[in-house]
Amino acid sequence: MKINCLNLISHRKWEKLTNRHKLSLIKKFFLSLEQVLISNVALSIDQEVIIQTNFQLFQKENKQLEITKNSDNIYSIYQCLKLLFPEEMSLQKDHHYLPHLKLKDRHKQHPRLPIFIILDNLRSAFNVGSIIRTAECLNIEAIWFCGHSPLPEHPKVKNTAMGTEQYIHWLSFQTVDEAIMQAQQKGYQVYAIETEYHTSSIFDIIFPSPVALVFGNEVFGLSETTISLCHQCLNLPLAGWKNSLNVATAVAVVCFEIKRQILFSQL
């Protein structure tokens, strides 16, 4: 039974449902209501009445909702329902909450950020998917996948990328050295991003445009040979016990710093 928060739930059908199905229906109601709030949709008076009526039906069924006093608006209803299944909600992924906006013309309105991301033998499809999502959000030029790095069509990559893999430019190379040399031939200065090298911080240089960034395997990093092919090796300054960031986080930090520099130069 597919019922969203804008459909009035029949009392007769409700009574025929098992407790498990009732809870499942409340959860669907909760997620649909969240979509309404995220999307900032203007509801009619009739729609608001339906939501209130459905919630009153839930209150009769669940003692935890019966004690709720502040349920006079949609947001307070959403907060009340959240109390019913906090563990289930914590397991939901981003795409269960994010609004589906029609942004197919966005890339035409914003020029590509002149960054090539080169990934050398990454092992985690989830890291790759997260990197793709960041790259698409920033509208970067391209991602080059080297060695055994999972590609955008990998199911686990797609799960984390949440559809953004459809909007990035990418190529696959057998070796990272081949990718670096091709980037240099295109006129890109290539920077290795590493943790074990006592080199300049990414915050102490002015990045050229265009630029290529090389990120290594989560365990082994980049080889000496690969680093020697790059224009310079840079690090992210860290102050904690752990000496490295997650590679997907590192990609986001460096790319946003470059974007910040580009925006600052345009002022």
State the pLDDT at residue 192: 96
Select the more confidently predicted residue: 146 or 24.
146
Cβ neighbours for 221, distance < 8 A, ≥ 6 positions apart:
194, 195, 196
Which residues, including other chains, have CB under 8 Å from residue 255's CB and lie 6 or more apart? 113, 115, 117, 134, 135, 138, 140, 213
pLDDT at 66 over 90: no
pLDDT of residue 1: 36
Looking up tokens 């969240």, which residue turns up? Answer: 34
Tokens of 42: 């203007």
CA 15: distance to chain centroid? Answer: 40
Q: Examine the pLDDT at 75 and tell me if it is beyond 90.
A: no
Position 3 scores a pLDDT of 42
pLDDT at residue 126 is higher than 50: yes
- Angstrom CA distances, 5 to 29, 62, 253, stand at 5, 18, 39
Task: Determine the straight-line distance between the first and last CA of the chain, rounded to whole angstroms.
Answer: 55
What pLDDT does 67 receive? 55
Q: What is the pLDDT of residues 81-117, one digit of tens each?
A: 877 777 766 666 665 555 555 555 555 567 889 999 9
Strand order in the sheet with 113-120: 170-173, 140-146, 113-120, 211-215, 189-193, 232-235, 200-201
Distances (CA, A) of 120 to 109, 180, 215: 31, 10, 6
User: Over pLDDT 70: what percentage of the chain?
Assistant: 84
Q: Which of the four pLDDT bands, split at 50, 70 and 90, describes residue 2?
A: very low
Whether domain 106-265 has CATH 3.40.1280.10: the reply is yes
- Compute the distance between CA of residue 228 and CA of residue 213 in angstroms, rounded to an integer: 14
**For range 22-26, the mean pLDDT:** 84
Quick check: 63 pLDDT over 80?
A: no
Residue 265 confidence (pLDDT): 83
DSSP state letter for 119 = E
Question: What pLDDT score was predicted for residue 90?
Answer: 64
pLDDT score of 238 more than 80: yes
CA gap 125, 137 in Å, rounded: 18
Measured between alpha carbons, how far is 77 from 56 in angstroms, rounded to an integer? Answer: 10
Encoded tokens for 210: 């265009």
Q: What percent of the chain has pLDDT over 90?
A: 48
Which single residue is written with the structure tokens 């029949």? 10
Residue-level pLDDT at 206? 95
Averaged pLDDT, 129-147: 96
> What percent of the chain is helix, strand and coil (3-state, nearest 5)?
50, 15, 35
pLDDT-derived band at 174 (thresholds 50, 70, 90) equals very high
Q: Is it the case that residue 246 has pLDDT exceeding 60?
A: yes
Burial class (CB in 10 A: 0-12, 13-18, 19+), 5: buried
Which range among 8-17, 39-48, 70-79, 137-146 has the greatest average pLDDT?
Answer: 137-146
Q: Which residues pair with residue 214 across a beta bridge?
A: 118, 192
Domain boundaries, the chain: 11-96, 106-265
| DSSP for 190-244, written as a single string | EEEE-SSS--EEGGGS---SSEEEEE-BTTTB--HHHHHHSSEEEE----SSS--
